Amino acid sequence: MHVTVLGAGYMGSAIACVARRRGHDVRLWGTWLDDALLEACERGAPHPRLKLGLDGIALLRSSLLAEALRGAELVILAVNSEGVVPVMTRAVRFLPNVPVLSVTKGLLESSATGHMDRIDVVAAQALRRAVRFVHAGGPAKAMEIARGVLTWMQFAGSLEDVEACARALRDDALVVSVTDDLAGAALCSALKNAYATGLGLWDGYVGADAHNARAACFTQAIVELRALVAAGGGRIETVHGPAGIGDLHVTAAAGRNRLFGERVGRGQPAREVAAEMSASGELTEGYPAISAAWRFAREQGVCDLPLLESIHAIVWEAADVGDTLARFRIIPT
Amino acid sequence: MHVTVLGAGYMGSAIACVARRRGHDVRLWGTWLDDALLEACERGAPHPRLKLGLDGIALLRSSLLAEALRGAELVILAVNSEGVVPVMTRAVRFLPNVPVLSVTKGLLESSATGHMDRIDVVAAQALRRAVRFVHAGGPAKAMEIARGVLTWMQFAGSLEDVEACARALRDDALVVSVTDDLAGAALCSALKNAYATGLGLWDGYVGADAHNARAACFTQAIVELRALVAAGGGRIETVHGPAGIGDLHVTAAAGRNRLFGERVGRGQPAREVAAEMSASGELTEGYPAISAAWRFAREQGVCDLPLLESIHAIVWEAADVGDTLARFRIIPT
């Protein structure tokens, strides 16, 4: 099968490895921001972020978008959320009528409505053309899927397309379940970054002995995700599967979002932590994700989100960590 | 309010501190196994396991059970699961007609049916008398509730009794939600130990870079808990709250169950790890909980539990860790 991956960063190169492992003919196209990454790979060096070689994968620079998409039977969209509209705008006239499996997670402002919305919705509005978007949710750190660690992903979209994507990529290490709840899965993926960052706040503020508080907030995050997903047209059962519980778990357990939260929890202003992490090439998605999630919640009219409200106040309104966490109240349901 | 706590171990002494903080008149009764603990406290030393002083709490040795229960308006049952029937058998004739809030978690063999069942069911059968059992679920490590770390518990039983228990104990640090789903909450509490131990296996076997696998198994544990709770007459919404997701999270994040799993995951036979941990006073509840959960599952006729099956095979049937985890398959739902 001809598989084209758009975006040669961490996740794009990892999913290209998965597709190659399944025996597909894989083309990895880099955006205009990926030149340095592809250059290293062209020299035969490991991918600078993934730290793995990309043997057997065709590498295409950004000028070769038409060539990258020619004859593709499956397109995997793996640029960051800000890159989706610019890349898809250029790609759309070369895009065959095949499923576009998106591993990109986030919310974007719709130029049509001025509101925050799912990436697939905003992209379809911008492209003025239906795209067969399939969203890939679930707990899937790029490094680990590339290395074949057991991973459970959930593909969401039209049932015909999700089944085709699942058949193309599942193997012994990659379990793929499917759902037609594109809204629910995409919203879980977009919103969990905000909550995962918040869970790190407790570690930084209370220290190691706040397991009860962290577990309470993990549970409360699921409660709030349910409300937000339902408001956005998704189904709550999706929150209780890999795209919700699973992805929140992996994001909160490790990584830059948690680290960002921990540093803020220890009392360093969020803007300062974000600037420092950004300067060292570690900028967390969780920082803007909190602002985007909070805006989405207000635009959807969802109230009773005490956890998200606290996280937002600390990270975006410079509220005092101690005061805010001390006043934070779970609303028993 | 007169509050009597039965069992002066880790959790009993912690919940006594919570009740005292709320201003109640608290009596802490120790079983015949708790003499050494109470002796230290009587001398004014910190509780040997909790490492906190029990100021203002009346301490009663095991011979003073009648005195401990006289005039109690709330009884808190905090002995271990094996102690419930022996202690309640002695206590029953002194027991006022008040709610019995049980923080004890586990499954017991019913002498009436020969099957594994909830503690409240087995105790009521053994006592041949209705007891107003309320189950306390949710992520509540004893040390942290005693110290006032934010904690979310869920009390389950008749709505009148759960409300009374919640009013008696909730405060700024302790959030208490209530449900009438006693079966669901008690089964979540009993079964999560088995799964939490299993999550530790991945850490030991794969090492630190198995976040995807651990998150997949966390999600799968919730899937399997749903099936087991439904079979046992509970409601699946309870699995998605503090008694399920929350308690699984806190148990898997830290503590002896996880450590036990990690050591087995690194290849040491489970029986040997259990013997060593037991010898150093650290025996994990997760070891017998796996056997009890597996037996419960079979007796209830629940199939499709690949995670519990794998954990049981490794821990109780000496199956090879690597082979078993490599063959383990999540069943996509």
Tell me the per-residue pLDDT of A283-333, one tens digit each, with 9 for 90 and over: 677 889 999 999 999 999 999 999 999 999 999 999 999 889 888 888 776
pLDDT of residue B331: 76
Cα-based distances in Å from A19 to A5, A13, A103, A180, B317: 9, 10, 14, 23, 37
Best of A249, A259, A329, A330 to disrupt the B interface (most B CBs within 10 Å) is A249
Confidence of residue B3 (pLDDT cuts 50, 70, 90): very high
Using an 8 Å CB-CB cutoff, list chain A residues near B209.
143-144, 147, 149
The type of residue at B119 is I
**Distance (Å, rounded) from C-alpha B144 to C-alpha A201?**
17
Confidence of residue A281 (pLDDT cuts 50, 70, 90): confident
Tell me whether B259 touches chain A (CB under 8 Å).
no
The 8-class DSSP code of residue A254 comes to: S
pLDDT of residue A333: 62
Contact B215 A177 (CB under 8 A): no
Average the pLDDT over A238-253 and give the result.
94
Which of A175, A220, A325 is the closest to B216 by Cβ? A175
Contact A245 B141 (CB under 8 A): no
Contact B149 A330 (CB under 8 A): no
pLDDT tens-digit map of B218-268:
999 999 999 999 999 999 999 999 999 999 999 888 778 888 888 999 989
Residue closest to B168 by CA, chosen among B29, B23, B71, B70: B23
8 Å CB contact between A187 and A106? no
Q: How far away is chain A from the Cα of B115, in angstroms, using its nearest Cα? A: 30
Best of B11, B150, B195, B324 to disrupt the A interface (most A CBs within 10 Å) is B150
Q: How far away is chain B from the Cα of A157, in angstroms, using its nearest Cα? A: 15
8 Å CB contact between B220 and A249? no
pLDDT of residue A75: 98
Tell me whether B311 touches chain A (CB under 8 Å).
no
B-facing residues of A in 155-194 (CB < 8 A) are 175-178
Instruction: Assess whether pLDDT exceeds 80 at residue A48.
Output: yes
Q: How far away is chain A from the Cα of B263, in angstroms, using its nearest Cα? A: 20
Q: How many other CB atoms sit within 10 Å of the CB of residue A43?
A: 7
Contact A333 B241 (CB under 8 A): yes
**Distance (Å, rounded) from C-alpha B115 to C-alpha B108?**
8
**Distance (Å, rounded) from C-alpha B92 to C-alpha B250?**
33
Element (H, E) at A103: none
Residue closest to A285 by CA, chosen among A150, A83, A143, A125: A83
Instruction: Assess whether pLDDT exceeds 70 at residue B333.
Output: no
Which homologous superfamily does the CATH classification assign to the domain defined by B185-327? N-(1-d-carboxylethyl)-l-norvaline Dehydrogenase; domain 2 (1.10.1040.10)
Helix runs in chain A, H state only? 10-21, 35-42, 65-69, 84-91, 119-127, 142-147, 159-169, 182-206, 211-231, 236-239, 247-253, 256-265, 270-279, 286-300, 306-316, 321-327
Residue closest to B78 by CA, chosen among B132, B151, B1, B15: B15
Average the pLDDT over B279-290 and give the result.
82
Using an 8 Å CB-CB cutoff, list chain A residues near B159.
none
Instruction: Assess whether pLDDT exceeds 90 at residue B136.
Output: yes
Q: What percent of chain A has pLDDT over 70?
A: 99
Residues in chain A: 333
pLDDT of residue B117: 97
**Distance (Å, rounded) from C-alpha B279 to C-alpha B201?**
21
**Distance (Å, rounded) from C-alpha A317 to C-alpha B3?**
43
**Distance (Å, rounded) from C-alpha B317 to C-alpha B323?**
13
Which of B178, B210, B246 is the closest to A219 by Cβ? B246
- Retrieve residue A155's tokens: 């593909």
Tokens 């029953």 belong to: B92
The type of residue at B259 is L
Using an 8 Å CB-CB cutoff, list chain B residues near A216.
138-139, 150-152, 175, 242, 246
8 Å CB contact between A300 and A176? no
Average the pLDDT over B117-132 and give the result.
94
**Distance (Å, rounded) from C-alpha B23 to C-alpha B169?**
10
Chain A nearest-CA residue for B139: A212
8 Å CB contact between A48 and A68? no
The 8-class DSSP code of residue B83 comes to: G
Four-way CATH pick for A2-180: 3.20.20.140, 3.40.50.720, 2.20.25.90, 3.10.20.30: 3.40.50.720
Sheet containing strand B100-102, strands side by side: B58-60, B25-29, B2-6, B74-77, B100-102, B133-137, B151-156, B174-179
* Alpha-carbon torsion (B6, B166, A332, A206), positive or negative: negative
Which of A139, A177, A211 is the closest to B253 by Cβ? A211
Confidence of residue B97 (pLDDT cuts 50, 70, 90): very high
pLDDT tens-digit map of A73-113:
999 999 999 999 999 999 999 999 999 999 999 999 999 99
Contact B218 A245 (CB under 8 A): yes
Sequence-ordered list of residues with C-beta below 8 angstroms from that of A197, at least 6 positions apart, any chain: A257, A258, A260, A261, A284, A286, A287, A289, A290, A311, A315
pLDDT tens-digit map of A177-204:
999 999 999 999 999 999 988 888 888 8
Q: What percent of chain B has pLDDT over 70?
A: 99
Chain B nearest-CA residue for A328: B150
Instruction: For B138, list phi and psi in degrees, rounded to 5.
Output: 105, 165
**Distance (Å, rounded) from C-alpha B135 to C-alpha B127?**
17
Sequence-ordered list of residues with C-beta below 8 angstroms from that of A303, at least 6 positions apart, any chain: none
Helix (H, G, I), strand (E, B) or coil at A272: helix
Q: How far away is chain B from the Cα of A129, in angstroms, using its nearest Cα? A: 32
Instruction: Indicate the burial class of A48 (C-beta count within 10 angstroms; 0-12, 13-18, 19 or more).
Output: middle
Tell me whether A195 touches chain B (CB under 8 Å).
no
A-facing residues of B in 201-220 (CB < 8 A) are 206, 209-216, 218-220
Tell me whether B253 touches chain A (CB under 8 Å).
yes
Instruction: Assess whether pLDDT exceeds 70 at residue A224.
Output: yes
**Distance (Å, rounded) from C-alpha A58 to C-alpha A178?**
29
8 Å CB contact between A154 and A241? yes
8 Å CB contact between B300 and A122? no
pLDDT of residue B212: 93
Q: Which of A19-23, B88-92, B319-323 has the lowest mean pLDDT?
A: B319-323
Helix runs in A79-141, H state only? 84-91, 119-127
Best of A10, A141, A145, A150 to disrupt the B interface (most B CBs within 10 Å) is A150
Contact A215 B329 (CB under 8 A): no
Using an 8 Å CB-CB cutoff, list chain A residues near B328.
150
Contact A329 B241 (CB under 8 A): no
pLDDT tens-digit map of A144-167:
999 999 999 999 999 999 999 999
Chain B nearest-CA residue for A253: B211
Q: How far away is chain B from the Cα of A285, in angstroms, using its nearest Cα? A: 18
Q: Does domain A191-327 have CATH number 1.10.760.10?
A: no
**Distance (Å, rounded) from C-alpha B88 to C-alpha B93?**
9
Look over chain A and give the mean of its residue pLDDT values, rounded to a whole number. Answer: 93
8 Å CB contact between B288 and B311? no
Contact B212 A253 (CB under 8 A): no
* Rounded (10°) angle between helices B270-279 and B256-265: 140
Tell me the domain boundaries of chain A: 2-180, 191-327
ipTM of predicted assembly, 2 dp: 0.95
Sequence-ordered list of residues with C-beta below 8 angstroms from that of A168, at least 6 positions apart, any chain: A1, A3, A19, A22, A24, A74
Contact A213 B144 (CB under 8 A): yes
Which of A143, A218, A333 is the closest to B249 by Cβ? A218
Which of A212, A242, A330 is the closest to B145 by Cβ? A212
Using an 8 Å CB-CB cutoff, list chain A residues near B211.
139, 141, 144, 250, 253-254
B-facing residues of A in 68-87 (CB < 8 A) are none
